Structure 1
Amino acid sequence: MKEMLLKYLQESNVSISIEQVLLNFLVSIILSIVIYLAYRYSHSKAVYSQRFNVSLAMLTIITTMVMNVIGNNIALSLGMVGALSIVRFRTAIKDPRDSVYIFWCIVVGICCGVSEYTIAAVGSAILFIFLLIFGHIKSNDRYLLVIHASTEVEEEIEKAILVFYDGEANMRVKNTTSERVEYIYELSQRIINSSKDKGNINKKLYELDGVERVNLVCQNEDINR
């Protein structure tokens, strides 16, 4: 048993040739460019981060480097796992798609490091097409309608919002003092689109005496980058 284990460890310590290493890096660079282009064209201008995109390409090459170092060496692989376990990533993932790209880069780097070019190329091609088709899908935007007015027109404001949005606007906040009132209504994109033929809600509200300020704020998670 000991002899078999020793023989296995000796066979697993065979280093790969320089030609194989160069080929692994070449394929890794080509596929990292594919990932770079996929991220570039699947994200809008407001969301796209060029520095993060370059980091993705570098992550693919770095993972390939790590796999070339490890090779078939079990002892070295265990030591590498222990060394990498102390790394802590503090960068917040603000777009769920970014985590997909990070995992894609790591998998491609692993495949290139062990010379599994077919799996890396076919998988990258499928993901590239999929992300180009569905990458522009955005979450539904939410809007907050913020109204500042005098307490004397509370009933008029609530009635105007009820009529204008056909009762679909959700009141989230109502702050009042002895003289002032603040409303915050939550609106969806569908509600805003369906009410466009009725005119502008701002003009409707400003026609009421006592309305001081009306703000419409878009809550979009994609702009927090």
Structure 2
Amino acid sequence: MKETLLNYLLATSSNVPIEQIILNFMVAIIFSLVIYISYRFSHSRAVYSARFNVSLVMLTLITTMVMAVISSNVALSLGMVGALSIIRFRTAIKDPRDAVYIFWCIVVGICCGISEYFIVALGSALIFLFLLIFGYVKTNDRFLLIIHGNISEEEKIEKSVLIYYDGKATMRVKNTTSDRVEYIYELSQRIIEKYSKRELSITQELYKIKDVNAVNLVCQNEDINR
């Protein structure tokens, strides 16, 4: 049984011509540059990482190199699977789209390594267009209204925020001590835009209240969260 399996593995092994390997790498370079351009234009300045983008190009070429080695030797491919299974990647993914680009690079490298150019061309074209179109889709920014004041003005502060935003401001945090109080209200971007047209801003309204010491409006978006 062992001899039969060994003979099968040896029989299925073949040498890939050097010209084919060079062509595979040239095609991999072309599509890795497509991935590079797609990543560059689908990410905003705040989340764009040039080093990560370069690593995507290298990942595509490395995957192509691995496929060039194991595609001509079935026995080696089995050993390579076992060797790669011990690798652990611990780099934090900043953006969920980064995981898509990593898998895209791996698939391109695999396809180029086995000379499946039509599949990689068609798939990359669709993915490229999809990411460019939907790469600018973002969730609406959230705003946090942070108020610090004296505990004696607790009722006035709550009433002022309630009236100003017509009850649409959501209280998330209320911290108190024996003489101080802190409020954190959550506001959507739509609410901010709607009520910013009023004659007086929310900060001006709150500073009319005695012993309100500080009013901060913080934009909480995906980039800040990371």
User: So what's the TM-score if we normalise by structure 2?
Assistant: 0.94
Q: What are the equivalent positions in structure 2 for 1:47-126 lying under 5 Å apart?
A: 47-126=47-126
Shift, 1:183, TM fit? 0.4
Query: Alpha-carbon deviation of 1:163?
Result: 1.2
| Count of matched residue pairs | 225
Instruction: Provide closer, same or farther for how the CA distance between residues 82 and 5 of structure 1 changes in structure 2, counting only shifts above 3 A.
Output: closer
Q: Following superposition, which runs of at least 4 residues in structure 1 exceed 6 angstroms of deviation?
A: 1-4
1:59-86 CA distance string (max 9 Å, x none): 1110001000101422211111111111
Structure 1 residue 25, shift from structure 2 partner: 0.3
Deviations 1:120-164 (A, max 9, x none): 111111111111111011122222111100112111111111111
Tell me which residue corresponds to 2:201.
200
2:9 paired with 1:9: yes
Distance 1:213 1:180 in 2: 12
> Which amino acid is the alignment partner of residue 214 of structure 1?
V
Query: Secondary structure at the residue paired with 2:197?
Result: helix
Moved more, 152-161 or 21-30: 152-161
Q: d(CA) in 1 for partners of 2:7 and 2:90?
A: 42
Q: TM-score, normalised by structure 1?
A: 0.94
Map of 2:218 onto structure 1: 217
Q: Which runs of 5+ in 1 are unaligned?
A: none
Distance 1:113 1:224 in 2: 39
The Cα offsets for residues 167-221 of structure 1, whole Å up to 9 and x where unpaired, read as 1111111111121100011111122122121242111111211110111122222
CA RMSD of aligned residues (A): 1.6
How far apart in 2 are the matches of 1:184 and 1:119? 52
Name structure 2 gaps, 5 residues minimum: none
Report matched runs for 1:123-138 at 5 Å: 123-138=123-138
Deviations 1:84-113 (A, max 9, x none): 111111111121111010010000000000
